Each structure stands twice: as C-alpha cells, then as structure tokens.
Amino acid sequence: MQPDRGGLTEADKKLAGGLTEAEAIAQAQTGNAEAFEALYNLHKRRVYSLCLRMTGNVTTAEDLTQEAFLQLFRKIGTFRGESAFSTWLHRMTVNVVLMQLRKKGLPVVSLEEPVDGDEDSPKRDVGGDDLRLSGAIDRVQLQRAIGALPPGYRTVFVLHDVEGLEHNEIAQQIGCSIGNSKSQLHKARMKLRELLKQRAGTAK
C-alpha cells in the first residue's frame, strides 16, 4: 500500500459528521451527496494548489480541479483501498493537468539542454556582496517566481519539491527519463534562486 502523501493526519481525515474518510468513500459509492462533498472539502486545497502551480492561471486551475474530481467520482465505485485515496486523486490530478498542458501545446518537460550553460554557474556570483539568499524566503515571492519559470521547469519543480513526488514517479507520469527529471529540477531551482535574488535586489 502506497503511503499517503496527502499530509493528512488521522484527525484531519475525520470529516463533517464524524465520518472517517473510509466511511465517506463507502457512502459516496452509494451515491450519497454529502459524502461526495465531504471528500471534496477534504482534498480540494491540495488538488487546486497543484493545478494552480502548474498552470499559473486561476480560472484554468478551477476548471481542472473540477475535472479531476469529476473523473475521480466517476470511478469511485472501483476504488478498493489498495492505495491511499489521496494518492489516487493526486495521480489523477497530475494526469488532468498534463493533458491540458499538452492540449495547449505547452512543453511539459524541456528536452533541450539550454545553450547558456554559464548562466547558472556559481562563478557569476564571485565577488558579489549577496552570495546568499538573505533571510527567509518570502512565500509570496516564491510563488511568483515559480509562476515565472518556463513551463517545463515549473512542472518538474512543482511535482518534486512542492508535491513530493520522486523522480521515477515524475518520469513515469510525464514520459521522460529519470535523468531528465533530475536535470530539469536542478535547472528550475537554479532559475528560482536567480529570480529570487533579482527581486530581493530590486526591493532593496
């Protein structure tokens, strides 16, 4: 059984009316509307946050959130508990988002190595006063910086660092190699560091 990476404790999984997640799933399988709503409320933030980070657009993210839950609820009758429900939902959400990105012709993963190999080299920082990101990273700034990433970098960064997927899982869902996933992640982090430092420098 896959571990639940939903970050939900057992207390969190107690839904409205004292139902557990397992009970809500069972009741949803009989068509109970309140059970569906309870499951939606339990997982909506994670699903929506994932859609928003990967698309950068509120309306698109809401549409994809709706689509992900609709696909899940259509198949809820087949859920047998072999894996965590949230893992199942998460995988479905990633698929929905990736299909949307592919439909729009956006690159899911950049397969080309960037020509500007020196851009990310630490050498550029030699002699600079602020070699380090000073202080705590402002979460709003980080969100904006993620939104400014190229789509391919953003996809891998969100799936790995925000959502906690392993490279083999990312590679399987996106259809790239593990090495490519690692490479994209590294470049995404380097780019984010650069963006955050630029914004910190502008703020000063």
Partner 1 sequence: MISCQEFEQRLPEIVDGGEWSAEQRAHSQTCRVCSGLVEDLRHIAQEARQLAASEEPSPRVWQELRRSLEAERLIRPQRSGFFEQLLPRWKVVLVPLAAAAVLAAVFVAYRSTSGPREVVQQAVLPQTHTADIIALDADDLALLASVSEKSPAMRAEYEKNLKHVNAYIRDAKDTVDQNPTDAEARDQLVMAYEQKAMVYDMAMERALR
Residue from 150, 186, 199, 200 touching partner 1 (CB under 8 A): that is 186
Q: Among 57, 133, 168, 177, indicate the residue that binds partner 1 (CB under 8 A).
A: 133
Cα distances from 37 to residues 15, 33, 96, 109, 204, in angstroms, run: 10, 6, 20, 34, 46
53 is a contact residue toward partner 1 (CB under 8 A): yes
Q: Which of 13, 38, 46, 101 touches partner 1 (CB under 8 A)?
A: 46
Cα 50 to Cα 60: distance, rounded to the nearest angstrom: 12
Instruction: Note whether 175 binds partner 1 by CB under 8 A.
Output: no
Q: Indicate which single residue of 131, 168, 175, 198 sits in contact with partner 1 (rule: CB under 8 A).
A: 131
| Both tokens assigned to 72 | 């899940």
How far apart are CB 50 and partner 1 at their closest, in Å? 8
With binding defined as CB under 8 A, does residue 88 bind partner 1? no
Question: Which residue type occupies 114?
Answer: P
Angstrom distances, CA of residue 148 to CA of 12, 87, 115, 136, 137: 33, 28, 20, 20, 16
Please, are residues 111 and 176 in contact by the beta-carbon 8 Å criterion? yes
7 touches 43 (CB < 8 A):
no
Is residue 73 part of the contact set for partner 1 (CB under 8 A)?
A: yes
Q: How far is the CB of 2 from partner 1 (least distance, A)?
A: 17
Q: Is 192 in the site for partner 1 (CB under 8 A)?
A: yes
How many chain residues are in contact with partner 1, going by CB under 8 A?
Answer: 58
Given candidates 2, 16, 17, 31, which one binds partner 1 under the rule CB under 8 A?
Answer: 31
Alpha-helical regions (H) of the chain: 21-28, 33-55, 58-74, 85-103, 139-147, 151-157, 167-174, 178-203
Q: Position 153: which residue type?
A: Y
Q: Which stretch binds partner 1 (CB under 8 A): 93-101, 102-110, 168-176, 182-190?
A: 182-190
Nearer to partner 1, 105 or 193 (CB): 193
- The one among 2, 16, 17, 45 contacting partner 1 by CB under 8 A: 45
- Give just the sign of the alpha carbon dihedral 163, 168, 172, 177: positive
Q: Closest CB to partner 1 among 101 and 188?
A: 188
